[in-house]
Amino acid sequence: MVGNSSSGIIEAPSFGLPVINIGLRQAGRVRGANVIDVEDGCANIMAGIQRALSHEFRTCLEGKPNPYWAGKEAAGTIVEKLKSVVLDGGLLAKKFHDLPGVS
């Protein structure tokens, strides 16, 4: 993957895909070993792509964890949470609250 999308930072490590992250848009996010940060510019991007395609880089990604994976699937977590929700009229009734000083 090449770009500056959060999917390269968050999802791609689960598949062991190399990612060339261009620029500062994703600054401050935790990164997996699959992310190669480069500044913008053709030469920088091409150098990142060459590194990502190298056998050495691809090999070093094997078995590396995704720092965003919590050890279980999101679907299972959601199902467990939904099992504890009481499905009654209170859940379905929309409630409005007037804000003080707003007319």
CA dist 26 to 2, 23, 31, 81, Å?
Answer: 13, 8, 9, 30
Which pLDDT does position 97 carry in this prediction? 76
Residue boundaries of the structural domains of the chain? 2-82
Distance from the Cα of residue 76 to its chain's centroid? 18
pLDDT at 76: 78
| Structure confidence at residue 82 (pLDDT) | 85
Ordered per-residue pLDDT tens for the chain, 103 residues: 999 999 999 999 988 889 999 999 999 999 999 999 999 999 999 999 999 999 999 999 999 999 988 766 777 787 888 888 887 777 777 777 787 876 6
| Cβ pair 38, 21 in contact under 8 A | yes
